[in-house]
Amino acid sequence: MDIFPLSCIPPAVRLLRALLFFFLLAAATVRAQEAPYFVTYDHHLEEPGNLEIETSSTLGIPRSGQRLFFAPYSEIEYGVAGRWTAELYFEGQSTSGDSAVFTGWRLENRFRPLKREHWINPVLYLEYEGVNEATRIQKEIVGHSELSNARNAELADMHAHELETKLILSSNLHDWNLAGNFIVEKNLSAAEGFEFGYSLGVSRPLAKIATGGECRWCRENFIAGVEMYGGLGSTVDLSLHETAHYIAPVIRWQISDTSSIHFSPAIGLTHVSNPVLLRFGYSYEIQAFGRKVARMFGGGP
Amino acid sequence: MRSPRICFWLLLTIVPMVVAQNLNYQQDPTWRAPAEASEKTNPLADRPELAAGGKKLFTRSCVECHGKSGEGLKKAADLQLSVVQGQSDGALFWKITNGNPDRGMPSFSRLPELQRWQIVLHLRTLKPTESSP
């Protein structure tokens, strides 16, 4: 595990460095009207053969006595087939007054059982997570929560192999997207039972009609919404006490045909939630990636 | 010990992806819009100036497979053909909305309805040609 001490650098400089690191990464991920959510999934999958590279981060504003953390993660999303999208994640974390650590990887798959658009569109989600307890990206909130002050070095040594499934339900109604996810997670490395969580999202493009000319700032390039997510306990204790919940306005800005940024300030609703989570993301899409690779090897048109 | 294990998992991930990729698309004769959808008329039909916006959306989302003039690449339909141009606005709208995911055509239901109708407006500006026998 690569750990390097940060305690000798002032916190403001560390935060600035972390933000700079994020924006540099950003110069390296979603295209036409992707949903602006960070946690909630809708029923739209990656277009077959397209590759999307996204770099996002979660900045956790602490309660008193807690420490600020910055958790960047990168994801590579590929449209394997028309109804199958796979994503690979790598994530890390840096805590103020502590160290920066690599916190693991995730491989997720989303399958769409129905071929056509329906009033409600289900998607099945299956993910394997090879992470450690220092993970802070908070891509999903499940079970019960606690705000820990343990050192990264200790947490990084506690590995967890987890399986996560989601039932994603999503509808497009009069230009509004409504999405709900029910999450079940099982830590295969500890007897924690099955943990449950949820996320709900609603979003809408700011303009219904596309203008003729190229424009960066026009309303059609923006989608705004709100999402809410949190834990629902576990089979060990099926209750809402000590569960974290967040409500988060979200916005996505399509800055070019192939790239977009999105932002969300999430507000913690319970005493075990972080007061604020600031999420940023940048995504870049390579269209027909599969075909371009096939051409390199002499296949495809 | 770690490297072979990582290679094994990567191979296990990548091989099914490559196998699952649809590399030999052919037109699907069963992909037909229901009658009710085909009968819908374009609400923007009397606003042809909005086709410019449709062209922009087409360039963003469709050109990669259908080509700049809609001429179609190997795996996607030639949108200039009379077999395509002969379809109703409602049928084209339905096809853009639902896609044909098993044949590589994604659904564009994430676009607002009027923007999908704008794409239909643009499709009508493509120069029609006769279908090959």
Taken in order of first residue, the domains within chain A and their CATH numbers are 4-296 (2.40.160.40)
Tell if the CB–CB gap between A49 and B21 is shorter than 8 Å.
yes
| Mean pLDDT confidence for A177-191 | 95
ipTM over 0.90 threshold: no
User: Smallest Cα–Cα separation from A31: which of A288, A285, A289, A222?
Assistant: A285
Residue of A nearest to B56 (CA): A212
| Mean pLDDT confidence for A285-296 | 84
Tell if the CB–CB gap between B109 and A88 is shorter than 8 Å.
no
Question: In whole angstroms, what is the distance from residue A20 CA to residue A26 CA?
Answer: 9
Two tokens at B59? 């360039």
Superfamily name and number for B25-123: Cytochrome c-like domain (1.10.760.10)
Residue of A nearest to B52 (CA): A212
Tell if the CB–CB gap between A210 and B54 is shorter than 8 Å.
yes
Question: In whole angstroms, what is the distance from residue A201 CA to residue A178 CA?
Answer: 6
The overall average pLDDT reported for chain B is: 83
Query: Who wins on pLDDT, B17 or A217?
Result: A217
Query: Who wins on pLDDT, A235 or B103?
Result: A235
Two tokens at B99? 């896609």
User: Which member of B49, B74, B115 has the closest CB to residue A210?
Assistant: B115
Residues in chain B within 8 Å Cβ distance of A117? 97-98, 107, 109
E strand intervals along chain A = 4-5, 51-61, 69-81, 84-95, 99-111, 121-132, 159-173, 176-187, 194-205, 222-234, 245-254, 259-268, 276-286
Q: Is A23's pLDDT higher than 50?
A: no
pTM of the model: 0.84
Summarize pLDDT for A74-100 with one digit per residue, the tens: 999 999 999 999 999 999 999 999 999
Three-class secondary structure of residue A291 per DSSP: helix
Question: In whole angstroms, what is the distance from residue B92 CA to residue A189 CA?
Answer: 51
Q: Is A206's pLDDT higher than 80?
A: yes
| Mean pLDDT confidence for A156-179 | 95
Summarize pLDDT for B80-99 with one digit per residue, the tens: 988 899 999 999 999 999 99
DSSP string covering B17-79, please? HHHHS--S----TT----HHHHTPPPTTTT-GGGHHHHHHHHHHHTHHHH-TTS---TTS--T
| Mean pLDDT confidence for A3-31 | 46
User: Which member of B20, B54, B75 has the closest CB to residue A80?
Assistant: B20
| Mean pLDDT confidence for A201-211 | 95
**In the structure, what pLDDT confidence band is assigned to residue B129 with cuts at 50, 70 and 90?**
confident
Residues in chain A within 8 Å Cβ distance of B64? 287-288
% pLDDT > 70, chain A: 88
**In the structure, what pLDDT confidence band is assigned to residue A130 with cuts at 50, 70 and 90?**
very high
Three-class secondary structure assignment of B90-114: HHHHHHHHHCEHHHCECCCCCCCHH
Question: In whole angstroms, what is the distance from residue A265 CA to residue A262 CA?
Answer: 11
Query: Who wins on pLDDT, A164 or B60?
Result: A164
Q: Is B18's pLDDT higher than 50?
A: no
Question: In whole angstroms, what is the distance from residue A86 CA to residue B13 CA?
Answer: 9
Cβ-contact A12, A147 below 8 angstroms: no
User: Which member of A32, A42, A83 has the closest CB to residue B60?
Assistant: A32
Summarize pLDDT for B51-84 with one digit per residue, the tens: 999 999 999 889 888 998 898 876 788 899 888 9
Buried b (16+ CB within 10 A) or exposed e, A79-97: bbbbbbbbbebebbbbbbe
**What is the pLDDT at residue B111?**
94
The overall average pLDDT reported for chain A is: 88
Q: Is A46's pLDDT higher than 70?
A: yes
User: Which member of A205, A299, A301 has the closest CB to residue B75?
Assistant: A301
